[in-house]
Amino acid sequence: MSQLRSKVISLYKHLQYLGRDYPGLNGPQKFRKQVHDAFMKNKDETDPKKIVALLAQGRYLAKEVEALYSLKKYRTIKQRYND
């Protein structure tokens, strides 16, 4: 169980770190609050299978946010050099 706990904490910290550059007006604050609320909603979960499923969902979200950032970076570079 402590292995799952450390994975959950690690994922939480990673998502909070990713949220610092989230685009939009109040984007970082809104993203971090949503992550915090999602983790607090499931804080009393004790079933290991459910926790593993939630971890997989969180890792998927992290990959999607990273893809969003790389796409944003690509669009910026393309816009600067193709004008």
Q: How far apart are CA 64 and CA 56, in angstroms?
A: 12
| Mean pLDDT to the nearest integer, 64-75 | 86
| Mean pLDDT to the nearest integer, 28-33 | 92
Count the Cβ atoms, other than its own, within 10 Å of residue 23.
10
pLDDT band (50, 70, 90) for residue 79:
confident
- Please tell me the predicted confidence (pLDDT) of residue 83: 62
Kindly tell me if the per-residue pLDDT of 55 is higher than 90.
Answer: yes
* Number of domains within the chain: 1
Instruction: Give a three-class secondary structure readout of 23-64.
Output: CCCCHHHHHHHHHHHHHHHCCCCCCHHHHHHHHHHHHHHHHH
* Nearest of 61, 41, 57 to residue 49 by alpha carbon: 57
Give the global pTM.
0.81
What is the span of the domain harbouring residue 55?
1-82
- Please tell me the predicted confidence (pLDDT) of residue 26: 87
| Mean pLDDT to the nearest integer, 52-73 | 92
Residues 6+ apart with CB under 8 A from 79: none
